[in-house]
Amino acid sequence: MEVLAINGSPRKQWNTATLLHKALEGASSQGAETELINLYDLNFKGCTSCFGCKLKNGKSYGRCAYRDELSPVLDRIEKVDALILGSPIYLGTVTGEMSSFLERFVFQYLVYDTNRSSLYPKKLPIGFIYTMGAKEDFMKFLSIDQHIELNEMFLGRIFGSSESLVVTDTYQFDDYSKYVNSFNVEEKTKIRKEVFPVDCEKAFDLGVRLIKNLND
């Protein structure tokens, strides 16, 4: 079994990346081989609306026709057994890189029929980890939870199953005194020490669950 994680954060060693590694540890504990790819290492675009993936009898039907550094990743995903995505929330949505990835990843398999059928060749369990500096109540105030539910719906419809882990009120800076901010640093530090380790356990459990569901 193989599990691939996609990091949509520009940071390779911070909240999102840490949680993705924990999820992969969970998958590895169940015997899976794991790999993590950082989207910010790649030079790629979002969907160019060429509709090559929808062209009748076209050579790229059901596959993204645009070729760039994301193309091998999209090909790689078809060979794995489970996928874990991760992104911080910027301005109420996932990062630009993650959004561009989702456009290319999802749209190629979506059929324009009344059932919105899928061309993906198998079931692919997907876990999506979201991180944000905002508190949970502010997340709902901005309707970020609706954005997360929409992603979950699309991924579930096209790939068979999707679940989300949302981690709020994250620690954003290594030293808050260096940056202009209005956060309660003592509260942030306490959450980092006491709550974030619990979030890491949840990420680990997500990785375990993805593999166990494959075996059921």
- Model confidence pLDDT, tens digit, residues 44-96: 999 999 999 989 888 889 999 999 999 999 999 999 999 999 999 998 889 99
Task: Read off the pLDDT of each residue in 108-128 and give the average, rounded to a whole number.
Answer: 86
Beta-carbon contacts of residue 88 (< 8 Å; ≥ 6 apart): 8, 9, 15, 16, 94, 95, 130, 131, 132, 170
**Rounded Cα–Cα distance for residues 150 and 4 (Å):** 22
Domains of the chain: 2-215 (3.40.50.360)
Per-residue pLDDT averaged across 91-104, rounded? 94
Distance, CA of 198 to CA of 91 (rounded, Å): 26
More confident call, 141 vs 168: 168
Note the pLDDT tens digit of each residue in 190-206: 878 888 999 999 999 99
Rounded CA-CA distance 28/15 in Å is 20
Q: What gap in Å lies between CA 208 and CA 127, rounded to an integer?
A: 11
Q: pLDDT tens for residues 6-53?
A: 999 999 999 999 999 999 999 999 888 999 999 999 999 999 999 999
Question: Distance (Å, rounded) from C-alpha 29 to C-alpha 208?
Answer: 7
What pLDDT is stored for residue 214 in this prediction?
78
> pTM above 0.85?
yes
d(CA 178, CA 88): 21
